[in-house]
Amino acid sequence: MAIENIPEIYITDKNKRPDLFVYDFKMTNDVVKSKVNLGMHMFSFLQVGKKQVHFAGTTVAVNKDQSLLLKKGNWLWTELLETEAKYYCKLFFFSEEKLKEFLEKHTANNHAVSDDIPYFLIRNDSYITSYLNSLSTIRQAPPIFMENLLSVKFEELMLYLLQKYGRNFELYLQSLIVKETAPFKKIIESKIHSNLKLEEIAFLCHMSLSTFKRHFIKEYNVSPGKWFHDKRLQKAKDTLEQGHLKPSDIYLEFGYNNLSNFSIAFKNKFGFSPKETAQ
């Protein structure tokens, strides 16, 4: 699967990346877990459809009632159509320089940071609707005015969200300019019960698959395939022992395409079938 470099693929002038950039993203096909190298922080204002993003340490899913502020980095995106058979998302990218300017102007800038969370969830309201309409309107302005207009609109949006979410939003903004990546083991252990492939987890770790496997064996003294396999089967066993679910309810959740393969792997691991465990 090719890696999409965003926003570079949307910018016409390849010799210059603007500090502020708006792009209307539309599609008519579902896209599941595309690899995205997000080179700028970005507001994602979902208008039609559903979106899920896998980060290094967590996952978030949104619909048209929510928007996301996403931290730059390597992420996996799933974008799904709704009944209208289309997907529409307005994207607003901003540079770290613009963010620093805003923080210096409007906050105490004490450099206290929140936990390293790669997104901030925004509840859409009448202001957001009006704001998006205004973004669409200014795109018709002559290019000579566009840079200044976007600067005004960026500051307006940030001030509104600062007023709406207060200190939590300020701390999140400050965390965006801290050059840290999630520790390797933290990423791995957050993905134990996901259905991500090893290649996809390696991408979230900013590694090739071969580098990822070498690093994994050095940390855990076992191959990643066996480690994830054993951890997921143990979780499946724990789930069945609670007595609320049957094997047929959970095999997909733990990465198996059919119940038979799940049952065989389970019995090979524990010496008894998942059906016996659930009784």
Give me the CATH number covering residue 250: 1.10.10.60
State both tokens at 62: 């949104």
CA angle 104, 133, 18 (to 5 degrees): 45
Q: What is the pLDDT of residue 120?
A: 95
pTM for this entry = 0.72
What residues of the chain score a pLDDT lower than 70? 1, 14, 109-116, 178-182, 279
Count of the separate structural domains present in the chain? 2
9 and 108 housed in the same domain:
yes
Alpha carbons 235 and 187: distance in angstroms, whole number: 18
pLDDT at 279: 66
Are 139 and 53 members of one domain?
Answer: yes
Q: What is the pLDDT of residue 38?
A: 92
Together in a domain, 245 and 188: yes
pLDDT at res. 139:
81
What pLDDT is stored for residue 178 in this prediction?
59
Q: Are residues 157 and 235 in the same domain?
A: no
175, 198, 231 — which closes off a domain? 175
Pair (14, 150) in one structural domain: yes
pLDDT of residue 131: 96
Domain range enclosing 111? 3-175
Asked whether residue 29 falls in the same domain as residue 108, the answer is: yes
Q: What is the CB-side half-sphere exposure of residue 60 using CA atoms within 13 A?
A: 19
Residue 41, SS3 per DSSP: strand
- Specify whether 156 is located in the same domain as 230: no
257 and 122 share a domain? no
> Which pLDDT belongs to residue 115?
61
Contact 227, 98 (CB under 8 A): no
Q: Verify that 40 and 128 share a domain, yes or no.
A: yes
End position of a domain, from candidates 128, 145, 175: 175
What is the SS3 assignment for 164? helix
Query: What's the rounded Cα separation, in Å, for the pair 262 and 137?
Result: 54
